[in-house]
Amino acid sequence: MKFLGSKVYRYPVFKTYWPFFVGAVATYYLIGKAQSAMENSEQYINDPRHPRFRRGEKDQK
Amino acid sequence: MPQLIPFFFLNQLFYGFLTLFILLILVSKIILPYILKLNIVRSIIVKF
């Protein structure tokens, strides 16, 4: 098989690097949790980009 | 600074991981085997 003129060799990417893929999923999940916590803090709760305004909620005091 | 605004963290992370994954596939399947083949052929030429 060729890609832009160069041969593509078969290499077991998943078999070699599976711990890093597991780490990436774990990082994504944890950053998502951190993002939710930061979004709902006092500093960003009334930011117009907050997703809760798309659901129709109003400004908090 | 947009990179430090919480609303954009997951978006940044997703595209960062996607870029790294594409680079990993490109390097391990195309670029490094090409360089290895060159080195092997050159060492064979030098031997004979």
Task: Average the pLDDT over each of A11-25, A44-58, B7-21, B31-45 and give the range with the smallest value.
Answer: A44-58
Q: Is the model's pLDDT at A46 over the cut of 80?
A: yes
The maximal CA–CA distance of chain B, rounded, in angstroms, is 62
Q: Is the model's pLDDT at A4 over the cut of 90?
A: no
Q: Which residue has the tokens 């993002």?
A: A35
Cα separation, B14 vs A18, in Å, equals 17
Substitution target from B4, B9, B27 for chain A, most A beta carbons within 10 A? B9
Domain boundaries, position A40 = 12-45
Judge whether B30 and A9 are in contact, CB under 8 Å: yes
Q: Strands, E, within B1-48: which ranges?
A: none
Neighbours of B39 (CB within 10 A): 10
pLDDT of residue A58: 82
**Domain tally for chain A?**
1
Tally the residues of chain A. 61
**Does residue A55 lie in a domain region?**
no
pLDDT of residue A61: 60
**Does residue A24 lie in a domain region?**
yes
pLDDT band per the 50, 70, 90 thresholds, residue A56: confident
pLDDT of residue A57: 83
Cα separation, A42 vs A14, in Å, equals 42
**Does residue A28 lie in a domain region?**
yes
How confident is the model over B1-48, as pLDDT tens digits?
A: 999 999 999 999 999 999 999 999 999 999 999 999 999 999 999 998
A17 neighbourhood in chain B, CB within 8 Å: 24
Nearest alpha-carbon partner for A9 in B21, B17, B20, B27 = B27
User: Do B10 and A27 lie within an 8 Å CB cutoff?
Assistant: no
